Amino acid sequence: MAKKIGILVGSLRKGAFSRMIAKALMDLVPAPFEMEEVEIGELPIFNQDWDDEGNPPAAWTAFRERVKTFDAILFVTPEYNRSVPPLLKNAVDIGSRPYGHNVWNRKPAAVVSVSPGGVGGFGANHHLRQSLVCLNVPVMPQPEAYIGNAASLFDAGGALTSESTREFLHKFMAAFAIWIEANASKKP
């Protein structure tokens, strides 16, 4: 049976490089894995009062239930001001609550950061990793994925044209598949 990987993309922008990389990664997922994007753009901003009052928005409940169906999660993020975009951080926070019902707990994950600059979103990648450690998420340590100079990697239609990047992403996904298998038995 295929294992399912959920992919969360931290940008809503049309033409977002992180979304283009996510599509390339989806094309490179090795069998027997399947990958599906989890939309996070319509999630209301996290407010713990709604959970405390037993009245979370329906979008939160649907998101939490959907994340539970995945065997692993791949986060693809741009960098905003050396950190994670609020869209993605909001999704992480929603999935971590209510207290004691963390949908991320022990779910194998990996982080890919994407930037038009040369540093490749290093700050966002590491800020996201800090949050995931707190949530007991085993994040793949190697290979790290910082995709820099993203504007030069795609054609006008958003297709990946860089063969060296495609080769790296292929190796990254192969390593992630091994990471998922190694950590699958550790799930409760």
Segment 15-72, tens digit of pLDDT: 999 999 999 999 999 999 999 999 999 999 999 999 999 999 999 999 999 999 999 9
Which band of pLDDT confidence, cut at 50, 70 and 90, is reported for residue 142? Answer: very high
- CA nearest neighbour of 112 among 160, 144, 80, 151: 144
Q: How many residues does the chain have?
A: 188
Which band of pLDDT confidence, cut at 50, 70 and 90, is reported for residue 186? Answer: low
> 176: domain CATH number?
3.40.50.360
- CA nearest neighbour of 28 among 181, 184, 165, 180: 165
Straight-line distance from the first to the last Cα atom of the chain, in angstroms, rounded to the nearest whole number: 19
Q: Considering its fold, how many domains does the chain have in total?
A: 1
pLDDT for 1 equals 74
**Whether pTM exceeds 0.85:** yes
Tokens 């009052």, located at residue: 53
In terms of residue numbers, what domain contains 18? 3-184
